């Protein structure tokens, strides 16, 4: 586990002389023992969080309205606003409560009544029945989240989504539903949620005007996008604990806080209910927790946990995928440290806590991660010509492709200055704004230059949210058991130079194929631990749009036929999941009938193929597209890259559009865009010609086995490193 420098500003909190005066809107401070908090428990929490949480950024503990412990790791600090991600939702809920109290609308008002011009011409009965209450409780009736794109009209896109369930009956985590709450507040008050809360909430709490990102139409996004300091979050938690009162004034109606933070719907059977604190029930944009607590939370480990029975608030910010671990540490260490009465002052315990935290700070400056491949890459930015220039590449291949909502093309692959798959490998992202006529390399990911860590097997994916993800594997050597799937993302994939998130590690293993979105709305990563482990072809599932990932199940590939798995998933029309896996003999298959929890052992499929990656994806028509080497029933070498169609969920295949017949073509990947155009990317001669190419066509071309649409374009060059020395 990587240790991070902890700048703990405990001052009076741990070894001072008692509470200090409130200045500039700051919360009062106290020693832990004076408020009935055992310093040893706080120390145990800090040590465990530093050791077990991937990247803690801050925490703050309030007891009886006073800060008794506060800390920041690494470059974080008390004045630095932190992105809240979905913790923003709880603030949007507060704005809704205030607007209802102001008489602007009611809980049971119909959603379409606010936006009659944006609704479909003939809205379904379920859409017409959808209420504000249903948006608040994540039970709007959708099976999967509506797709909101950077260039779309978000209200219209939300209302266009099918609503198969009766609103109020099925919990499905739904960030666009929170956006709709924000849009309703703005529609009825004439102010964004941020502006509406400015005088009613932020200013009274002493929170400076915060940043809150906006939709393309200028509304606060609502479901995410708010930035606050750790103490700002703590003030909000204390306001909730005080039932809306602050300095003698009722800022938020107590009745609203009671409703919002109580269980309004069950969520124990929802796709998001994998961890114990995610199946305790849901309120109005607040999660119920174990131990009679409730919380607002957000992606990567942002928490505001309120414990009414203990009169305490715990705030945490982080950059991690282990959100349940954070809560488990609160229950294990903080909760038992909270006593009903003040404790005797304990200078020895305070000194130990101070020494522990000082030791963490010192170790963070020098201690490397336990394994170098667990560290974030050192370079995530524009390519450096000397180290990464095209003229220096002796290897490049294994590409992926994605198309942004506005049409910008993105491609990635991995490369290196030596003619092999070794510690010199790095990942390249390139982009085109002229439909592939020209390309420019825009981002490069390099773990540590000459090694020992390599970045390889990248993948691009445009999520249903419109967010573009760039995945890659990071490992030492050529072993999937000591590797991990990493990613960065951008919310603006149509920009030539978009801003990218910080890199984060999602799971163990390697992912060489695109994620799949199931009919439940869950996202599935096909990650593999390769040849040295049983049950290597794994499903890593997210039920919250990529905020957290958990292992759902895995298929066992017999030892004697194992290769690199490179498995792909298809959800069949009967609800079963069909897994296709690369093996030594070609393509194996397995079918799960319980949403991927269990899988029969892999057996040979009817699709003949060399031991190489293939590509399968469901098209907008409902048919399956398969890109493989050679005819369906013939095992060729890595040549004759050909596209086929299936109208019966893979039982039979027809067509056969030849994309590139040359020996040395391999590793297809692709995407179909809303206009029906299909783009496939592949490599050719990774250490010879060193080319990345695309083929563009339509479904009718595949069905006919020849170019009939007038839009077939083959062997379009994305990158050519053949001139490298």
- Pick the last residue of a domain from 341, 367, 393: 367
Taking the CA atoms of 377, 381, 387 and 391 in sequence, report the sign of the dihedral they define. positive
- Cis bond upstream, residue 658 (ω within 30): no
In a domain, 461, yes or no: yes
534: Cα separation from own chain's centroid: 27
90 phi and psi angles, rounded to 5 deg = -65, -30
75 and 93 fall within a common domain: no
pLDDT at 369: 55
- 204 and 315, same domain (yes or no): no
Q: In whole angstroms, how large is the CA radius of gyration of the chain?
A: 27
CA distance 369 to 484: 14
Residue 221 CA, distance from chain mean position? 17
What residues have CB less than 8 Å from 406, skipping those under 6 apart?
150, 151, 494
Among 512, 542, 569, residue at a domain's last position? 512
CATH of the domain at 414: 2.120.10.10
Q: Could you give the number of structural domains in the chain?
A: 3
Distance CA 706, CA 583 (A): 30
Domain co-membership, 343 together with 472: no
Sheet architecture: strand order including 440-446: 379-381, 440-446, 426-432, 409-416, 395-403
Take residue 158 and report the two structure tokens written for it.
């939300």
Cα 167 from Cα 139, distance rounded (Å):
6
What are the distances in angstroms from CA 265 to CA 168, 279, 441, 548? 8, 10, 48, 22
Burial class (CB in 10 A: 0-12, 13-18, 19+), 318: buried
In the numeric block, which tokens belong to residue 328?
């488990």
What's the gap between Cα 673 and its chain centre? 22
Question: Among residues 441, 435, 476, which one has the least CA distance to residue 456?
Answer: 476
pLDDT computed for residue 319 by the predictor: 87
Q: Do 133 and 182 lie in a common domain? A: yes
- Judgement on whether residues 233 and 209 belong to the same structural domain of the protein: no
Structure tokens at 681: 């990317």
Alpha-carbon distance 204 to 252, whole Å?
Answer: 11
How far, in Å, CA of 423 to CA of 428, rounded? 15
- Both 203 and 102 in a single domain? yes
Mean pLDDT by 10 residues, the chain (725 residues): 42 34 69 94 91 87 94 84 95 98 97 96 96 98 89 94 96 95 98 96 94 93 95 98 96 98 91 82 97 95 97 95 90 96 89 62 44 86 84 95 97 94 94 96 91 93 96 83 88 90 90 93 92 87 90 92 93 96 96 95 96 96 98 96 98 97 98 97 96 98 98 98 76
Q: What confidence score (pLDDT) does residue 297 get?
A: 96
C-beta of residue 326 within 8 angstroms of C-beta of residue 298? no
Give the end of a domain, one of 326, 347, 367. Answer: 367
**463 plus 499 within the same structural domain:** yes
Residue 46 Cα to chain centre, angstroms = 26
- Residue among 480, 472, 588 at smallest CA distance from 525: 472
SS3 at position 128: helix
In a domain, 579, yes or no: no
Is 678 within a domain?
no
DSSP category for residue 188: H
**589: in domain:** no
450 and 400 in a common domain: yes
Cβ count near 382 (within 10 Å): 12
How many other C-beta atoms can be found within 10 angstroms of the C-beta atom of residue 622? 9
Q: State whether 431 and 486 are in the same domain.
A: yes
Longest dimension (CA), the chain: 85
CA distance 580 to 557: 11
* Beta carbons within 10 angstroms of residue 677's beta carbon: 17
Q: Which helix (H) or strand (E) element contains residue 236?
A: helix 230-241
In a domain, 343, yes or no: yes
The span from the CA of 380 to the CA of 489, in Å, is 12
The answer on 470 and 381 residing in a single domain is yes
Other Cβ atoms within 10 Å of 637 Cβ, number: 12
Residue 544 domain flag: no
402-to-226, 391, 410, 435, 494 alpha-carbon distances in Å: 28, 25, 5, 12, 11
Q: Does 698 fall in a domain? A: no
Angle 313-315-319 from CA coordinates, rounded to 5° = 160
* Residue range(s) defining the domain that contains residue 463: 373-512
Tell me how far apart the alpha carbons of residues 579 and 330 are, in angstroms, rounded to a whole number: 39
Are residue 182 and residue 66 in the same domain, yes or no? no
Q: Against a cut of 0.85, is the pTM above it?
A: no
In 10 A of CB 1, how many CB atoms?
13
pLDDT per residue as tens digits for the range 377-405: 988 888 887 788 898 999 999 999 999 99
164 and 193, same domain (yes or no): yes
**Would you say 658 and 692 are in contact if contact means Cβ atoms under 8 Å apart?**
no
Alpha-carbon 354 to chain mean position:
35
3-state class of 64 per DSSP? coil
Phi, psi of 74 (to 5 degrees): 55, -125
- 441: closest CA among 501, 473, 396, 502? 396
Establish if 633 belongs to a structural domain.
no
Instruction: Please say whether the beta carbons of 442 and 409 come within 8 A.
Output: no
Res 361: pLDDT: 45
CA 152 – CA 528 distance, rounded (Å): 36
- Cα separation, 661 vs 669, in Å, equals 17
């Amino acid at each position: 586990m990587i240790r991070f420098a902890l700048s703990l500003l405990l001052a009076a909190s741990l070894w001072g002389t008692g509470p200090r005066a409130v200045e500039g809107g700051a919360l009062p401070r106290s020693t832990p023992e004076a408020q009935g908090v055992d310093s040893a428990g706080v120390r145990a929490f800090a040590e465990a969080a530093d050791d077990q949480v991937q990247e803690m950024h801050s925490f703050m503990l309030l007891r009886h309205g006073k800060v008794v412990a506060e800390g920041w790791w690494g470059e974080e600090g008390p004045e630095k606003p932190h992105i809240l991600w979905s913790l923003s939702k709880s603030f949007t809920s507060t704005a809704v409560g205030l607007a209802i109290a102001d008489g602007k609308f009611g809980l049971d008002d119909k959603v379409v009544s606010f936006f009659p011009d944006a609704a479909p011409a003939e809205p379904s009965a379920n859409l017409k029945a959808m209420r504000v209450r249903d948006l608040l409780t994540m039970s709007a009736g959708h099976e999967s989240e509506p797709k909101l794109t950077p260039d779309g009209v978000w209200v219209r896109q939300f209302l266009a989504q099918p609503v198969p369930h009766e609103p109020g009956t099925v919990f499905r985590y739904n960030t666009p539903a929170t956006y709709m709450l924000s849009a309703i507040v703005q529609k009825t008050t004439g102010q964004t949620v941020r502006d509406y809360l400015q005088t009613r909430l932020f200013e009274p709490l002493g929170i400076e005007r915060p940043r809150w990102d906006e939709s393309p139409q200028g509304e606060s996004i609502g479901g995410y996008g708010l930035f606050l300091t750790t103490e700002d979050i703590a003030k909000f938690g204390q306001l909730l604990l005080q039932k809306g009162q602050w300095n003698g004034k009722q800022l938020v109606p107590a009745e609203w806080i009671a409703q919002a933070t109580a269980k309004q719907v069950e969520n124990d059977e929802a796709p998001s209910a994998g961890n114990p604190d995610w199946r305790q029930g849901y309120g109005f944009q607040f999660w119920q927790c174990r131990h009679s607590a409730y919380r607002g939370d957000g992606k990567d480990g942002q928490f505001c946990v309120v414990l009414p029975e203990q009169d305490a608030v715990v705030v945490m910010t982080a950059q991690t995928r282990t959100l349940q671990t954070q809560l488990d540490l609160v229950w294990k260490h903080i909760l038992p440290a909270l006593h009903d009465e003040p404790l005797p002052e304990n200078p020895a315990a305070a000194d130990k806590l101070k020494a522990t935290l000082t030791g963490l700070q010192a170790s963070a400056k020098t201690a490397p991660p336990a394994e170098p491949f667990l560290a974030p890459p050192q370079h995530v930015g524009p390519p450096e010509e000397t180290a990464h220039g095209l003229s220096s590449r002796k290897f490049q291949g294994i590409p992926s492709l994605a198309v942004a909502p506005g049409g910008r093309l993105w491609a990635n692959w991995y490369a290196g200055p030596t003619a092999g798959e070794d510690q010199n490998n790095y990942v390249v992202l390139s982009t085109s704004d002229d439909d592939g006529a020209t390309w420019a390399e825009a981002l490069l990911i390099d773990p540590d230059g000459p090694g020992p860590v390599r970045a390889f097997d990248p993948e691009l994916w445009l999520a249903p949210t419109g967010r573009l993800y760039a995945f890659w594997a990071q490992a030492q050597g050529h072993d999937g058991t000591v590797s991990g799937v990493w990613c960065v993302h951008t919310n603006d994939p149509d920009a030539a130079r978009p801003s990218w998130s910080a890199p984060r590690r999602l799971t163990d293993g390697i992912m060489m194929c695109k994620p799949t979105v199931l009919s439940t709305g869950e996202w599935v990563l096909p990650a593999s631990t390769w040849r040295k482990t049983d049950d290597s072809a794994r499903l890593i599932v997210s039920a919250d749009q990529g905020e957290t990932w958990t292992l759902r199940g895995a298929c066992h590939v017999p030892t004697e036929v194992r290769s690199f798995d490179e498995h792909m998933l298809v959800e069949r029309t009967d609800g079963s999941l069909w897994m296709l896996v690369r093996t030594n003999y070609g393509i194996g298959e397995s079918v799960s009938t319980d949403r991927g929890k269990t899988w029969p052992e892999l057996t040979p499929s009817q699709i003949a193929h060399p031991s190489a990656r293939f590509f399968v994806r469901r098209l907008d028509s409902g048919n399956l597209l398969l890109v493989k080497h050679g005819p369906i029933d013939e095992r060729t070498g890595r040549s004759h890259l050909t596209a086929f169609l299936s109208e019966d969920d893979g039982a039979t295949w027809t067509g056969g559009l030849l994309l590139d017949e040359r020996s040395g073509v391999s590793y297809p990947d692709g995407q179909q865009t809303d206009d029906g155009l299909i783009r496939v990317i592949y490599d050719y001669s990774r250490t010879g010609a060193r080319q990345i190419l695309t083929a563009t066509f339509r479904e009718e071309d595949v069905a006919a086995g020849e170019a009939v649409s007038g839009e077939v374009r083959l062997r379009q060059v994305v990158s050519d490193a053949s001139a490298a020395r």
